[in-house]
Structure 1
């Protein structure tokens, strides 16, 4: 088991080493300048988006998860962040088109910057990880399906939170803890 854990850890580290830092900083800047942030994804990528949304909320951002019953309409000055390995998931393509239609900014975290959503996006963070397709240009992985992408996206987006806290010295763990759920 220890060898498997080590192999997964090495895989994720190698993927994250290849991420373009400027893309992540651009995503951070888009988030910090948005009126409201809307996040969507499907499957495990959608769960990673929800995890990131929770951390943004802990950091004081006005965040909504697309599909929840209390999510309002998106509009100009807002942003939509889509987490999609393929960048071509039909429902997410529709969300991207709607965001563009209403004048919201669009960001994509993906393995496929040349995807349908990538063509519409104002900001793309390319995570060069393996997907369920196992294309020859993708890195090797011992993990099933899109696990390497999902794990890399999770750690990368958590690192973006740490970056935000570092440049905003008024944010610390106690402040974030004060926004943590207390109905548990």
Structure 2
């Protein structure tokens, strides 16, 4: 077998496709704005269609739109000619993808789309094609060459189509003010859903499981409380139960360095005052971010009066799948 330089071919392919994306970036203009505005105004669904490789790209674009706040689905143009046009309404916006703009299955359904009054956006590399001329808005994807050495297999063209579809989806996402919680509603399964839907109250320790001592508690007794509750810290409250501070494993190490009498010294003398807390309704992912930014391993959860109602640590985050 003749030795072949796979690495060189792979790098050349990536370079050609990167050039296609750079060309698209420099070519993007106000037409993109008009397309986004039309999609934002859509009262029905965004219906994406395309044949062959462009169809595969269209399927992915529809999925990305749907998961980021812009209801969308894909319809195969061949199936549309045999009944699936019944899924189209005048309230929808059609996004048709064809590199040449002359794909017969797509061109065949154009008069019917126009007849029902659905706005049409096209993505094509040929601005003079039937599809581009029929569309209300044509998004031109300039392609100088495919990465295929025969200049035949859709490679650069489909990469650019996909990037343009992502650009549309993310522009709409930001314009709608689509939040992480909105995203979670469309992604309830797996670790992503857990990270975005779980709240602190869902995973925190509460009731008698909260490590808690009062200001006058000797350090030794506070250590016993930390050991019993196994969270690496304890809340320190006043006589009314309001949080005054926290004592952690780190505080213990610093205390030992000072050779303080653990039996007789009150926890108030060595605790950390004004500790970081979260609310029970906060997202677990937000609490994790606080812990990472503050470089701490545990958090106390307080109510509006500052009374501890929960506690959690990194192990709880890991167990819940938030990390």
Instruction: Place the TM-score, normalised by the shorter chain, in its bin.
Output: 0.7 to 0.9
Which residue is 1:40 aligned to?
Answer: 49
Q: CA RMSD in A?
A: 2.5
Show CA shifts across 1:103-152 (max 9, x none). 111110000121111221101000001xxxxxxxxx24533522111101
Within the candidate set 85, 102, 107, 2:116 is matched to: 102
Q: Distance in 2 between matches of 1:9 and 1:120?
A: 28
Contact 2:147 2:155 in 1 (8 A): no
Runs (4 or more) in structure 1 with deviation over 4 Å come to 68-72
Which residue is 2:131 aligned to?
Answer: 117
Q: Distance in 2 between matches of 1:63 and 1:71?
A: 15
Within the candidate set 10, 22, 34, 1:26 is matched to: 34
> Are the structure 2 counterparts of residues 79 and 19 from structure 1 closer, same or farther at C-alpha, using a change threshold of 3 Å?
same
Contact 1:64 1:71 in 2 (8 A): no
Larger Rg: 2
Q: Distance in 2 between matches of 1:140 and 1:44?
A: 16
> Are the structure 2 counterparts of residues 22 and 167 from structure 1 closer, same or farther at C-alpha, using a change threshold of 3 Å?
same
Contact 1:38 1:74 in 2 (8 A): yes
Which residue is 2:175 aligned to?
Answer: 167
Query: TM-score normalized by structure 2?
Result: 0.49
Deviates more, 1:174-183 or 1:17-26: 174-183
1:89 has 2:100 as partner: no
Which residue is 1:133 aligned to?
Answer: none
- What is the CA-CA distance between 1:181 and the residue it aligns to? 7.2
> Are the structure 2 counterparts of residues 44 and 174 from structure 1 closer, same or farther at C-alpha, using a change threshold of 3 Å?
farther
Q: Secondary structure at the match of 1:18?
A: helix
5+ residue gaps, structure 2: 1-6, 191-323
Within the candidate set 59, 63, 66, 1:54 is matched to: 63
Q: Secondary structure at the match of 1:156?
A: helix
- What is the CA-CA distance between 1:75 and the residue it aligns to? 2.1
Q: Secondary structure at the match of 2:95?
A: strand
Q: Distance in 1 between matches of 2:70 and 2:18?
A: 32
Within the candidate set 59, 64, 67, 2:73 is matched to: 64
Aligned length: 173
Query: TM-score normalized by structure 1?
Result: 0.82
1:78 has 2:87 as partner: no
Q: Distance in 2 between matches of 1:181 and 1:16?
A: 34
Which residue is 2:154 aligned to?
Answer: 146
- What is the CA-CA distance between 1:73 and the residue it aligns to? 2.7
1:17 has 2:22 as partner: no
Deviates more, 1:150-159 or 1:64-73: 64-73
